[in-house]
Chains A and B, each alone.
Chain A
Amino acid sequence: MPRQTPLNAVHRAAGARMVDFGGWDMPVNYGSQIDEHHAVRTSAGMFDVSHMRAVDLEGDGARDFLRYALANNIDKLTQPGKALYSCLLRPDGHVLDDLIVYFLREDFFRLVVNAGTAEKDIAWLRDLIRDRASPLRLTPRDDLAMIAVQGPQARAKVWQAMPGSEGASRELKPFFGADVKLADGSCFIARTGYTGEDGFEIMVPASHAIALWQALVAAGVAPCGLGARDTLRLEAGMNLYGQDMDESVSPLVSGLGWTVDLASPRDFVGKASLMAAPPAQQQVGLLLLDAGGVLRAHQVVHTTHGDGEITSGTFSPTLGKSIALARLPTTVAIGDVVHVAVRDRKLAARVVKPPFARQGRALVQ
């Protein structure tokens, strides 16, 4: 039986089509996923992301620990509330998970990890803490629900739906979060997301989730499922764990080199392996030029430099064309035309640099 978020009954009552995602029973769409996509690009939509796991790391030496445990450099976080995107790597340099970490205090960081990998990550971090004989405490926050409200009107609608939240969240810059005290308790609001639009991700006690969701619906925020979440993140050029990277590949072939700092003297899990093996492939974007189908994961890409593979593909509602993320030989250049095997045909596609669309605008033609 897949697990249920505190909003499960609300999704079902709204007529959502449900799927098993990472061991959770989640809405894939409530009607048209393309309409949900456009709601986020043009107005405001929301996603139940309570399946993702917040994990609090507390104690002296928390920063030292994360400096070693994360591939991105935790020392980029100097202001309380600031967030950082990072991979968690294995010693062989392959990707255990990707996550967001918030710096709340020197002795208190909050990680947000993927649903399907949460138990694995927690066990891995506990082992690492024990190996380093560190006195840190790791607390999975199963008591929290999480709602992502995204789109150009998302913040204004959150303030409308959550009286008293505006003062503490209006000045939040992108990729910052803060605890917000409200009349009926406190919540954590972060100006983050997975859509390429402005907005907030809001963590509330699970018991408050339904009231918040309903207040957001009343404020005119469109409920959106995992289907729209996937097309939005792909247009925004963001990776999905388990598809665009996993434990079989390094971040350097997954478009995540920008999150891995190999230049500084800092040591971290996986660094030696990444230094020893320069990548033979790169991640690029593809824009389908020919008619004849939709780009999908696992389709083979033929180039004059050798073959590669699509890791995520879909139809882009913003562009009205099919787009993909693909892993191709490093010698393939932006602007090259490649050919994708779609059923019995080879369809031409142009190599582009993601993102494809953000903040309501197409970024490739």
Chain B
Amino acid sequence: MNLPAELKYAESHEWMRAESDGTVTIGITDHAQAALGDLVFIELPAVGRVLKANEACAVVESVKAASDVYAPIAGEVVAVNEAVTAAPESLNEDAYGAWLFRLKPAQADALAGMLDAAAYTKLIG
């Protein structure tokens, strides 16, 4: 299973990357895309929307099923990846390149309690 060590992970199968400008980029894990299967529709939150932690804010639909994506941390949406809504299959090909949205975290140490690759590996067993 492809789990980059520099990322943090949530139990709800999102990955998070701390950017140098203090924002956090969020996507879904390779494990999640594999479980969903071929993705055909992705809906992202509006830029400027303020999200609570664990709030459902995006939808990914595969041929098989629809699934919510949660904001693993609280914050304001500062960017969304429109390339991935135009080509949902790109997320199947590269789950860590095909990011979904970027948050300005409400708290500076927002990623402190998140899982690392080893802990997430254990979770998905």
Which A residues form the contact surface with B (CB < 8 A)?
17, 28-29, 32-34, 227, 231, 291-294, 296, 314-315, 317, 322, 343
Contacts and interface: CB of A to CB of B under 8 A. Distances in A.
Contacts of B89: 34
B38 interface: yes
B37 interface: yes
A245 B29 CA distance: 37
B66 to A, nearest CB: 7
B61 interface: yes
A29 B65 CA distance: 14
Contact of B59 (A17, A29, A293): A293
A228 to B, nearest CB: 9
A32 B92 contact: yes
Contacts of B92: 32
B77 interface: no
Interface in B34-75: 34-35, 37-38, 40-41, 43, 59, 61, 63-66
Contacts of A294: 40-41, 61, 63, 66
Interface of B: 34-35, 37-38, 40-41, 43, 59, 61, 63-66, 89, 92
A43 B43 CA distance: 33
Contacts of B61: 293-294, 315
Given A29-B37, A291-B41, A322-B40, 19 more contacts: A28-B37, A32-B37, A32-B92, A33-B38, A33-B63, A34-B38, A34-B63, A227-B37, A231-B63, A292-B43, A293-B41, A293-B59, A293-B61, A294-B40, A294-B63, A294-B66, A296-B65, A315-B63, A343-B59
Contacts of A231: 63
A317 B62 CA distance: 12
Nearest to B34: A17
Contacts of B35: 17
A227 B43 contact: no
Given A32-B92, A343-B59, A296 B37 contact: no
17 contacts: A17-B35, A28-B37, A32-B37, A32-B38, A33-B38, A34-B38, A227-B64, A291-B41, A293-B43, A293-B61, A293-B66, A294-B40, A294-B66, A315-B41, A315-B61, A317-B63, A343-B66
A39 to B, nearest CB: 14
A69 B80 CA distance: 59
B69 to A, nearest CB: 13
A154 B38 CA distance: 25
Contacts of A29: 37
Contacts of A296: 65-66
B105 to A, nearest CB: 27
A17 B62 CA distance: 15
B60 to A, nearest CB: 11
A231 B40 CA distance: 13
A343 B60 CA distance: 12
Contacts of B43: 292-293
A42 B107 CA distance: 53
A294 B35 CA distance: 18
Cβ-closest 10 pairs across A and B: A315-B40, A34-B38, A294-B61, A315-B63, A32-B38, A294-B41, A33-B38, A33-B37, A293-B41, A33-B63
A322 B41 CA distance: 10
Nearest to B92: A32
